Amino acid sequence: MSARRGSLVLGGVLVALLALVPLAGWHIPWVLPSTVNVLNATGTLEVLALCFIFAGVALGYDVLFGYTGLLSLGPVTFFGTGVYVFDIALTRWGWSLAAALAATLVVTLVLALVLGAIALRVGGIAFAMVTLAFAQAFYYLVEDNPHNLTGGDTGLALASSRLPGLLSGAVSNTRSLYWLALVYLVLVGAVVRVVLNSATGRVLVAVRENEQRVEVLGLRPFGFKLVAFTLSSLVAAGGGIVYILLIGTAVPSAVASITLTLSILVMVVLGGPGSAWGPVVGAFVYVYLQQYLLKVAAEPSFASLPAVARVPLSQPQFLLGALFVLFVLFVPGGFAGAVARARARRASRRPAAPAIRGDT
């Protein structure tokens, strides 16, 4: 009980500090991912806001993957739905902000229930494949630019005329978008906590551990899995909305491709699936490293490096992929697993066995 209160206090302090970042004009050389080495520079705030968004999406995804034990390869479907439905409603149809939000919510909810009901008919690897196929179908659909709605490959810029001034894409508003992203993350964290601590959350974990035993208790695992699927879909769509507000353009390769799905998976596995804070840390590490490596590669001195060093370092995808492989091989359970093992060692008890549950 007190441990939980302690981590709540710690989380609260962290959030408060992060909320103050836009007001702090400190000069910090080297460590910041933007080209200007000032803490509240637009570039830095944007990267941090991206961290918040993907931390939220990763938390939602982990409800499905880490807690319920379902490997979905389709979170991008719902992230993309959030991006595109919101963008189209505002930009193409000129709806009001509230109407666009409502439309996005309804479309996501219906889509999640329908696709979830179909995909959850199969389990294990087949479930992963079906969700992947749906995600690809979604990708092809937005690439196709039906009725000139999505803009296809060229993308769809968000028309900011229908947005309140504070949220419109102007650079001076990065600060408010930063706060919005932080609010999104805190909200997601709270909702996910409440659900996982409820009776439903305990059934989800039971489904992961032993589905038959849940059935023996007279509960239908299907319904609970659908709840997890829908919750993580809604969270992903919410992340999509904040993303399009922040970035301002929807491009299929960035918001609807399998690359994004894999990124989310990498974040969760780096941080530690099935842990309260692991996915958040994983998302921060992933987004920060990706952006920082791009910054390093853009340094003028970088071009003078020999090819052996320059080629790998210029590709965040290579370094993140390699890091991911090392974690899977040597750090089961990601950061959260490593911390749990370190704690267990200090308490000189036998090491807990977190890793990826159900991975046997």
As measured in angstroms, the least distance from the Cβ of 266 to another protein is: 7
Contact status: 129 vs another protein (CB under 8 A): yes
Smallest separation (angstroms) from another protein to the CB of 125: 5
Residue 186 · residue 14 · CB < 8 Å: no
Q: Which stretch binds another protein (CB under 8 A): 84-92, 180-188, 236-244, 320-328?
A: 320-328
Tell me the one-letter amino acid at 300.
P
Tell me how far apart the alpha carbons of residues 146 and 194 are, in angstroms, rounded to a whole number: 39
Residue 241 — φ and ψ, nearest 5°? -65, -50
Considering the rule CB under 8 A, would residue 329 count as an interface residue with another protein? yes
Contacting another protein (CB under 8 A), which of 12, 114, 140, 352? 140
Determine, following the binding rule CB under 8 A, whether residue 146 of this chain makes contact with another protein.
yes
**Residue from 10, 14, 28, 126 binding another protein (CB under 8 A):** 126
CB atoms within 10 A of CB 132: 19
In the chain, which residue ranges form alpha helices assigned H by DSSP? Answer: 2-20, 42-62, 75-91, 97-119, 124-144, 174-197, 199-209, 211-216, 221-247, 252-255, 258-271, 278-298, 307-313, 316-330, 334-346
CB of 78 to another protein, least distance (A): 17
As to burial, measured by CB atoms within 10 angstroms (0-12 exposed, 13-18 middle, 19+ buried), residue 220 is: exposed
Task: Confirm if 119 and 131 have CB atoms less than 8 A apart.
Answer: yes
| 101 lines the binding site for another protein (CB under 8 A) | no
Q: Find the binder of another protein among 98, 125, 199, 216 (CB under 8 A).
A: 125
Least CB distance to another protein at residue 328 (A)? 5
Our CB check for another protein shows the closer of 52 and 324 to be 324
Reading the block at residue 141, the tokens are 């659909």
Which listed residue (103, 296, 328, 339) binds another protein by CB under 8 A? 328
Which one of 37, 145, 176, 249 is in contact with another protein (CB under 8 A)? 145
Q: What are phi and psi of 156, to 5 degrees?
A: -130, 110
137 lies in the binding site for another protein (CB under 8 A): yes
Told to check if 320 binds another protein by CB under 8 A, we report: yes
Q: Nearer to another protein by C-beta: 162 or 310?
A: 310
* Contacts to another protein from residues 332-351, by CB under 8 A: 332
Residue 165 gets which letter from DSSP? Answer: G
Interactions with another protein, residue window 233-262 (CB under 8 A): 258, 262
Q: Does 144 engage in binding with another protein (CB under 8 A)?
A: yes
Cα gap 165→145, rounded to integer Å: 29
Closest CA to 179 of 238, 242, 221, 234: 242
- CB of 352: closest distance to another protein in angstroms? 15
Q: What is the separation of C-alpha 107 from the centre of its chain, rounded to a whole number of angstroms? A: 20
Segment contacting another protein by CB under 8 A, of 2-10, 21-29, 48-56, 326-334:
326-334
Per-residue b or e along 298-315, where b marks 16 or more CB atoms closer than 10 Å to that residue's CB: eeeeeeeeeeeeeeeebe
Number of residues that bind another protein (CB under 8 A): 51
* Pick 42 or 136: Cβ nearer another protein: 136
Interface positions with another protein (CB under 8 A): 71, 118, 121-122, 125-126, 128-130, 132-134, 136-137, 140-141, 143-148, 209-210, 258, 262, 265-266, 269, 310-312, 314-322, 324-325, 328-329, 332, 355-356, 358-360
